Each structure stands twice: as structure tokens, then as C-alpha cells.
Chains A and B, each alone.
Chain A
Amino acid sequence: MKSKHLLVALSLLVVIAMLVGCAQQATPAPGGQQQGAKPYIPVISKGFQHQFWQAVKQGAEQAAKDYNVDITFEGPETEAQVDKQIEMLQAALAKNPAAICFAALDSKAAIPLLEQAKAKNIPVVGFDSGVDSDIPIATAATDNVAAAAYAADKMAELIGGSGKVAVLVHDQTSRTGIDRRDGFVNRIKEKYPNIEIVSVEYGGGDHLKSTEIAKAVIQANPDLKGYFGANEGSIIGVLNAVKELGMEGKLVVIGYDAGKQQKEAVRSGVEAGAITQNPIGIGYKCVEAAVKAIRGESVPKVIDTGFYWYDKTNMDDPKIAPLLYD
């Protein structure tokens, strides 16, 4: 009786394993070194649930199709999971890839594995925040300092050159967090002496946490004129706060990236506008650079994937609209 149950359970386990195996057959088995097989390029990002990463994935998949290579795309659940990302990199290396695309959560922690890749002559292409080392042959990324500085110019223009503004950033440790914060804050300090930054806070990109922070800051500064959110999670928090406090239209809200909620806010005018990166371009360019490296072609060390300012007047522009992921 007992053993029968156990047998049933064990066979269930096998069935699950089989199902996974079958699902796998839909996508060709990876194999950079197998003869006749397409080159295999693992893309290891800093996340995968966020819409931004899904757009990067979309670009990477497009490039894989155009250049006839196989890719896989993965990233840890949160941007704090440095060790999980290292394990992904390790598993990717075990598959003998033709090249690796990598956006490091913590460059220093990843160096030993990247050196392994270098020793095996596997080219590494950085993307987004890239890798802080000489190992990557190229990095496809947004110039976040320049983009955030542009957001500061827009903020100054829209609030009339003086008053109090606040900044909400996703975190103080990642490259993008630091660059966007410094890009915005330094531009205000250098160019706009009449604007005061009353708060720079960090919400971890978490919608709820960011909402609570933004609410507290707005309530503590009744004369606040503008709010800059440095990534999608942060700006959603600011927008929630504005809505919950009934401040629509009373604050100049400037955001970063896209996403359905943010796009609706821009369209309705609650958000003045936002900086968009080119996530599809980032994904596309990094895989493209990896392919070129495999073929032995030269690749520029820095691939600037560009940024755009969008507001309700130009968000349907054919040049902008495809970049604004939902």
C-alpha cells in the first residue's frame, strides 16, 4: 500500500521531468561547440520580470533571428541577488557558449568567472550597466548621466527655473542608480542655482515602497514643484503618491523608461514627460556585437544605444512609439 503511493509519487516526478524535457524540444538544444549547430549566446541580465528587461529580451531575440544564432535570456528575481546571477553565469559557461552577453549586478563578484571566459576565448559583451572591467570587448548601454542631465534641463524649464524638487531613485549601489542620480543632481547644482533638491531617496524600484516614500516627501514639502523618478518602479511610486494625495497637475513629474502606467500618465498629462532608453536596441546591439566578435569582426568598445525625451506631443511618433514598452 505504502510503496504503491510512493511509486505513484515518484513516477509523477519523472513525468514532470519529461514534460520539461519536451517543452525544451520546442527550442533547439544549445550548443556553441557542436558542429553544424548555430552559435549559442547566453544573455544574462539583471532581471527578467521587469518590462524593461522583457524589451531588452525582445531586441536580443530579434538579433538572434537576424543573425541566425541561438540565445537564452535570464536574470535573477531581484537586483540584490548577486550570487544567483553568478550561478547563472556559471551554468552558462558550462555550456561552452560562443559568446556571452552580460549585465553585471556586481562587477567585482563576477570577475573570476569572466576571467574563465576570457581564458576559454569566449568573448564577453556587456550591456546596460555593463561590467566594470577590461574583459568585455564592448558594452551596449545608455549614457545615463547625459540622459538624466537632460531630464534635469526639462525639469528646470517646466518649473520655471526656480523652486524645490525631489528625486526618487531605485538604489544607491547599481551603476544606473548612481549615474541617473548624479546626472540629474549635478546638472541642477551646476546650472540652476535657484532650484533646490530637497530629497534624494531610494525605493528599491518597489512600487509600494516608492509610493510611501514619495507621499512622505510631498507631504513634508508643501511647496514642492517637481519630482524626478529615476526608473519605472520609482516613477510609478511618485505617480501613485500624486494620485493618492490629489495633487494631479500641481507637481511637475518627470520619469524614466516606459511601462503602461507611466505611458497613461504621460498621455493624460499627470506626468510631464520622461526619458526613454532604447531597451530593444540594447538587447539587439549586444547580441549583434557578440555575433561580430564570434566572426572576428571589430566591434567598438562603447555602443551608445541612445535616449529620447517623450511627452504627450511626441509619444506616438513612429521613432519613439516602438521604444515605449507596455
Chain B
Amino acid sequence: MATREASATTRLSARTLFRSEAAQKLLAFGALIVIFIFFSVVSPFFLTRDNVIGILLATAVNGILALGVTFVIITAGIDLSVGTVMTLSAMTTAVAIAVWGLPIPLGILVGLLTGGVAGLVNGLVISRMKIPPFVATLGMMMMARGLALVIPAALFGSVKPVYFTDTPVFNQITMGSVIGSVIPALPVPNAVLILFGAALIASFILTKTILGRYAVAIGSNEEATRLSGVNVANWKTAIYALCGLFSGLAGVVIASRLNSAQPGLGAGYELDAIAAVVIGGTSLSGGEGTILGTLIGAFLMSTLTNGLRILGVPQEWQMVVTGAIVILAVYLDILRRRAR
């Protein structure tokens, strides 16, 4: 509570805020560049076209999840359900397209709506039933995980992946390359464009719409926001629903990328998304954060994973290093706060 009030008071000093936010963004970006240069120097296989494209592609799913989580964390909330809601959305998309034979755009809509509805339920449980976000979304995480297994079990009698074998176009949505068809030397898969498109939309919502401004206000000081006549419960619900929509989009993207819906996937993905958001400088105590930061955070994580793999660093150590980087990023955040 104290930190929240503190950040609300510092908010008054616009200049300090601007400086520190710029510093954080610069820092994450600087770290990304340092890591990039380091890996390029150490391995001749890192800075190749195919590998950089591979890194961009590997960021798509986690990046899209992290975009949604950014809004929630800005309100000083948390969403642990994004990973399994993604899986559930992938599953409903697959059922719509591969089982019911619906047209692909409708199938995608089904996936997005699945995520949106799950997010809406999260929001209602949090704002109406007054259940803390951690608990509410933990429950949703489990439910979505279960439902993603229940659906194939009910349809086929056993839990198994659903493949888009009859609709090869679906795979092209993410793995095709619009850029590549114009510039053949640059076959960047569409999944990357989807990530950037989603980031632009997220950035617009956060900075230019009332939803974004209320998200920041709620995160800075929820009580003050409520007292100034804002229907906090409704706006919070909308923010969790928005986060769910992004999870739904991530579900469509991962289904398209793998050309299948994998029922067992998704547990643990929420933590990667949260890590990307935090590395990107969004404060877990709410009230501030940027989409660009989250995007950089997500790229930093996938660059690190890819680079360590390329170097052939033993897998156990990859985890240790990634974990250390997450702690370091949060430590930077704390230093920044203290410096104010």
C-alpha cells in the first residue's frame, strides 16, 4: 500500500517519471543489445538470417501473452491463467476448424472469444466476488488446463492433439511470409507481424484510450480512482477480458504454428510472460509500464534462450542464467525506484 501511495505521489513530478521510464527502457534495450553483440561475437551461427528470424518467431507466443499480462500488472493485478487459457483457445479453434469444419476466420474468432470469455470470468470473479487476482486466475489456470484436456477426451474418447490436416492454409497464417513474398531474401514468418500488430494495438489501447488510462490510475491508487467516480469494478473486468483476448490470440498463433492444438501444453507459460513484462520495466506494484518495454523483455528472453542454445550451454545452466537475468532485471527496477 505504501509503495502504491509513494508511486502516486512521485507521479506528480512528471519530469522524474519521464526520466526514470526512459532510463528503464534504455536499460532493457541496452541489455538486449549487449546480449546480442556478445552472442554474435562468441558464435558464428548466432547472427545469421535464419537464426534471427528463428528468435523473432520464438518470441511471438510469449510476446503476445506478455502484452495482455502487461495491462493486468499495470493495475497491480496478476494473471496466472494466460498459459492454459492459450491452450484452451488453441483447442477450441482446432475443434471449430478441424472438427466442425467452420471457415478459418470463424475458427479464429472462436479462439479469440474463448480467451476473452475466460478473461471476462477472471475479471468478474476478481471485481464482483472480491477474490484476489492471484487466487482467481490460479483457479482459472487449473480450469482451463482441465477443459483443454476434457474437450478432446469428450470428442475422441482420448486426450490427443487435434491436427489441422485438412486446412493447410491455417498453418500459413503464422508460418507463411507476407514479407517474404515481397522481399524473398527476408522470409519473416507472419507470426512476427502478428506480434508487432498486436503490440501496436496494445500500445494504442494503453496510451490513447480511456481503458489504458484507467488501468494506470487503478494501479497507482485504486481507492482514489474509485473515489473520483470511476467504476473500478467494470474497468478491471474489462482489463482482464482484454488480457484474455490476447491469450486467445496467442492460442490461435500457437495452434497455427504447430499446425495442431496440443492439449498438454501451456503450464508455466504464464511465468515466462510475467518475466517478460517485469524485465520490460512494468512494476509489479502497478501504476506504470509500457508495451515497448514488454516487447523488449520478451525479445530479451528468447534471445537469451536461443543464444545459450546456440552456444551449446548445458540446459541446466541455461535455466540458471535465465533465472539470474530475471532477478537482475527486477533488481534494476528496485534500484530505479530507490533512486527516485
Contact = CB atoms under 8 A, between A and B. Distances in A.
A88 B268 CA distance: 18
Interface stretch (B96-104, B178-186, B254-262): B254-262
Nearest to B61: A83
Interface in B156-171: 158-161, 163
Interface in A52-86: 72, 74-75, 77-83, 86
Given A20-B308, A20-B311, A94 B324 contact: no
Contacts of A96: 45
A84 to B, nearest CB: 9
Contacts of B336: 2, 6
Contact of B331 (A9, A17, A23, A94): A9
Contacts of A35: none
Contact of A16 (B264, B266, B324): B324
Contact of A109 (B54, B259, B268, B328): B259
Contact of A108 (B34, B44, B163, B266): B163
Interface residues of A, number: 49
Nearest to A9: B332
A87 B259 contact: no
A91 B55 CA distance: 9
B42 A21 contact: yes
Nearest to B258: A109
Interface in A8-29: 9-10, 12-14, 16-17, 20-21, 23-24, 27, 29
A31 interface: yes
Interface string B226-259: 0000000000000000000000000000100111
B322 to A, nearest CB: 10
Interface residues of B, number: 57
Given A16-B321, A173-B161, A24 B312 contact: yes
B304 to A, nearest CB: 9
A80 B313 contact: no
A88 B338 CA distance: 39
A108 B50 CA distance: 21
B134 interface: no
A249 interface: no
30 contacts: A2-B335, A6-B27, A9-B332, A13-B35, A13-B325, A21-B38, A23-B317, A24-B312, A24-B313, A29-B312, A75-B315, A77-B268, A78-B264, A78-B267, A80-B264, A80-B266, A81-B265, A82-B260, A82-B265, A87-B306, A91-B54, A91-B310, A94-B45, A106-B161, A106-B258, A106-B262, A108-B161, A108-B163, A109-B262, A173-B159
Given A9-B335, A75-B315, A78-B264, 11 more contacts: A13-B31, A13-B35, A16-B325, A17-B35, A20-B311, A21-B311, A23-B317, A74-B315, A82-B258, A88-B309, A91-B306
Interface of B: 23, 27, 30-31, 34-35, 38, 42-46, 48, 50-51, 54, 57-58, 61, 158-161, 163, 175, 254, 257-260, 262-268, 305-306, 308-313, 315, 317, 321, 324-325, 328, 331-332, 335-336, 338-339
